[in-house]
Chains A and B, each alone.
Chain A
Amino acid sequence: MSGRPAPAGAAGRQPHRARAASRAAGGERTTPRSAVRLGPRLSSLSLERLLRAGPRPEPAPLPPARAETGALTFGIVVFPGSNCDRDCEYVLREVTGVQTRMIWHRDPELGALDAVVLPGGFSYGDYLRAGAIAAVSPVLGAIRRFAEGGGLVLGICNGFQVLCEAGLLPGALIHNRDARFHCAWTYLRVERTDTPFTCAFAPGEVVRMPVAHGEGNYFAEPATLAELERERRVLWRYVDARGEPSPQANPNGSLHHIAGICNAAGNVAGLMPHPERASESLLGGTDGRRLFASMVRWLLERRRG
């Protein structure tokens, strides 16, 4: 599966039957997908309700042909306590269609990669401050060099906290204003579409992605906030269904209703919502997959020159 090193060109690209056979032989996934049954707690009725939940999203544009996307490799960083690493890997491989490689937090080098994703979770149990201990781990040195060389780096939830603690993004994520953990769908307004992380969205589009965090309250000094706004580095803002920012639509008290930002160079971005949890209609929405599709589109265009 995701953690297993695979020869270049082979990872995740085997035909389904071969994959199922290797799983059965290796015992990685002993239940064939077709044999998965809905348990009594997830009755067909509740599944139907799940499928109907919320406004039906617009059908997402089809990703580019796999032959093209399969030439890209995304690294997913695994810290002790990461818990969305497999979700990210699954979506990138199965939905976005890129090659994936898990990166261990002690790895001092990244190797050849097109993009790096720092996934959500509770790295080091959120000890000290969320993301603070991960921010001084060996892999961050490699990620810093990768970013300085223009590589795409995306931090999701805890990954955003790590990037802020590491100084790769400005500001900090403090406790939610009501000191509670929030797990809910939110509406986000895409503030610009000329970045590697948003180019597959429509200008001003309102999208849905879930949040799940206790410390997602974006804080920065007034001068930093002014700079972010002046340089249009706020990429996603919490809004209501009509696209208007309001305290009610803001789940955590973030200043300027900030859900996600990018660095000055535009190649490092972080956001608290989880695009990987909004990438398949079965899970309630597909808006998140376009964030990954944006990175793919941008990388392929850069590759074409």
Chain B
Amino acid sequence: MIAVRVIAFLKPGVLDAQGQAVQQGLEALGYAVERVRVGRAFELVLPEQDWEENVRRMCERYLTNPLIEEYRYERLGPAAPPAKGQDDP
């Protein structure tokens, strides 16, 4: 098993209302921020065989909507699996 992190953002040109709202909040706190984009991160633990092709397929079919989102991914390696959450046995 390996761990992979997928990051998805709305494509440039697609209105990121959440990003704009977060930016307004930062400005209200007095921070100068030129741009904020809000995205989504996934951490997957999956078999190593064909992982890259499989991750791409998952992203295209389900994890992202290719019409409005773009994504990138990185392998975290066996030494850095996602932390166990409260759902894990």
Residues of chain A having any CB pair with chain B under 8 Å: 128-129, 132, 136, 165, 171-172, 174-179, 217, 219-221, 253
Contact = CB atoms under 8 A, between A and B. Distances in A.
B65 A129 contact: yes
Given A132-B65, A178-B17, A217-B17, 9 more contacts: A172-B68, A174-B10, A174-B14, A174-B68, A175-B18, A176-B17, A177-B17, A179-B21, A220-B67
B15 A172 contact: no
Which of A129, A132, A136, A221: most chain B Cβ within 10 A? A129
B44 interface: no
Contacts of A174: 10, 14-15, 17, 68
Interface residues of B, number: 13
B63 interface: yes
A96 B10 CA distance: 41
Nearest to A136: B62
Contact of B62 (A132, A175, A176): A132
Given A174-B15, A253-B15, A179 B63 contact: no
Contact of B20 (A129, A171, A179, A217): A179
A77 to B, nearest CB: 20
**Which 8 pairs from chain A and chain B are nearest by CB?**
A179-B17, A175-B17, A179-B21, A172-B68, A172-B67, A172-B65, A179-B18, A177-B17
27 contacts: A128-B63, A129-B65, A132-B62, A136-B62, A172-B65, A172-B68, A174-B10, A174-B14, A174-B17, A174-B68, A175-B15, A175-B16, A175-B17, A175-B18, A176-B17, A177-B15, A177-B17, A178-B17, A179-B17, A217-B15, A217-B17, A219-B15, A219-B67, A219-B68, A220-B67, A253-B15, A253-B17
